Structures are given as C-alpha cells and as structure tokens.
Amino acid sequence: MTKRFTLLALVVFFIAPLAARAQQPPIRVNCGGPNYTDASGNLWKADYGYNEGAVRSFSAVIKGTSSQALFQNARYYVGSGMAYHFPVPDGTYHVNLYFAETNAATQIVGGRVFNVKMQGATVFSRLDVFAEAGADAALVKGADIVVSQGSIAIEFDAVANAPEVNAIEILPGASGPQLSLSFKYPDGTPVVGTLSYAVTSSLLSFSGQQPLVNGQATCAILANPSVLGISMQFTLKVSLNDSAGHLLWNMNVLLNPAEVNLAAVQNSTLTVTVQKITTQTSG
C-alpha cells in the first residue's frame, strides 16, 4: 500500500464541507437518565434538549460496551416528531447516537424501526437496532452535519413502534490539515457522483456520504481519530458511485489508529482516475 493510499484510507471517513470550524465543547447527553461520568472521565449530562417523549430504565447487561449506564436508560415516543435541539455556533459537527434494543417484545427484526433526521435531512432510514446489533447490544450510529443557523436538530420518526435513543454525543468538527480528493475520467472531465464511507468496529459504527463538487471532495485530517470515538481497530469501506448509481471505485481496509501518527501530515491533494461506465440500450 502506498503512502498516499494509506493517508486516504485513514482520513476519508472524516469528509465534511469546510464550513467555519465550530468553537464548541463536546455535548454528551444521557437520554432518559441522570448525570454520568464514563470510564474515560467524560461527563454525560442528565437528559435535556428534548421536546417530548417518555423515559424508561432497565437493568439488562449490554454487550459491546464498558459504559453500561449509557444504555440502561432511554427516551422514547409513540409516534413521530420526537426531537432534540442544541444551540451551537455555526460550523461542522460529528453526531454519535447510542442505541440498544433491550425490550423483549421488539427483539425481532422489524420489531422497532424508525427514521432519524439531522438538520431536517434523513441520515438513517428505517433504522432497526436489533437487526444491526442483536438483543441487549450496543450500537453507535454517527453522521457529519453542517450547522448554519445556530442549532442542531435531531429528530426520531416512527416506522414500526416507538423510536428510542439511549445517548447523544455531539463533537465539534476537526481543524487541521486538509486532503483534497479529485476524481476524473480518463479524458480529464470531472466525475459527477457521490463518495460514501462506513466505519465499523466492535463498539461503534457510522457512515455518511458527500456529493462531489466539480469532481472533488475535501477531508479534514485528524492526528487523533479518538476525537470521533475511534480508539481501536476498525474497518473502513469507501465507495464512489456516479450519478446513475454505477460503482466506479471502492476500498475496504482494516486499520488501527494506535499504530498511526498523522501529526506531521500537511495539506495534500490526491487525484484518482476512474473508468467511465455507460449504459447500453437496445432499440
């Protein structure tokens, strides 16, 4: 693997439009529960910022996490429109949502399904926590957002049974060096398409996508990926699809941030040439 390819693999999942960087301390909320300090010393504040819903607590042992208390309380709502709002400076943010399916009645595929919106846009469609993680198991779903009107809005809308969330974590967008990615066809014209990514480890998963602008996407390079909660070996999947949905390029790699030091990395540019796919029609 070349040095430049390694760099791309390590940073592409931090893709975010380069809006003004947010000057905001992390926001951590223990939904439905009291103040809680986790093993890393992070304070999760008692539930706040919600518009409606009820709370429940339970004593199930949650697999895949050392922070049991974050998954033993929840806020839920029978219907659509349960939302959290947090005033923040404009800028880029990464939002982690913490889930665990602990209700025996909904520990089946399709038992609890809901949509999640951030800033009014759907980021997780038909989310089924049991289908992704199983019973009494931690699941973390993350997404990057841009705030332009001074507030973060996270909405949960029912598809099957009541949406439920255990904890919310909001981290400010990273500053530092940038990697500019440029995707072109062999004739030099820019690709029109979308770059998608997914990061998974034994304790979390998150995904996102960014439409190319004139064939380009921009990434923030993090010297310490732990600011997004990544502190162990993880799998990174990246794919590029054109506007017709054709897969033009993809990558699947296993990485360990403890073995990488990006502190000395400077601004970089990487150009990738991909083959153009045309659809044949018969007349």
Q: What is the pLDDT of residue 154?
A: 97
Average pLDDT, the chain: 81
Measured distance CA(31)–CA(22) in Å, rounded: 24
Domains of the chain: 3-16+175-273 (2.60.40), 27-172 (2.60.120.430)
SS3 helix, strand, coil % of the chain, rounded to 5? 10, 45, 40
Binning pLDDT at 50, 70 and 90, where does residue 205 land? Answer: low
Comparison of pLDDT for 184 and 206, the residue scoring more: 184
Model pLDDT for residues 152-195, shown as the tens digit of each residue: 999 999 999 999 999 999 988 755 566 778 899 999 899 998 88
Q: What is the pTM of this model?
A: 0.61
| Average pLDDT for 42-48 | 96
Q: What is the DSSP string of 116-143?
A: EEETTEEEEEEE-HHHHH-BTB-EEEEE
Q: What is the pLDDT of residue 157?
A: 96
User: Which residue in 157, 149, 180 sits closest to 272, CA to CA?
Assistant: 180
Q: How far is CA 212 from CA 44, 123, 183, 189, 194, in A?
A: 36, 18, 8, 13, 6
Judged against a pLDDT cut of 70, whether residue 221 lies above it is answered with no
Tell me, rounded to whole angstroms, the distance of Cα 235 from its chain centroid: 14
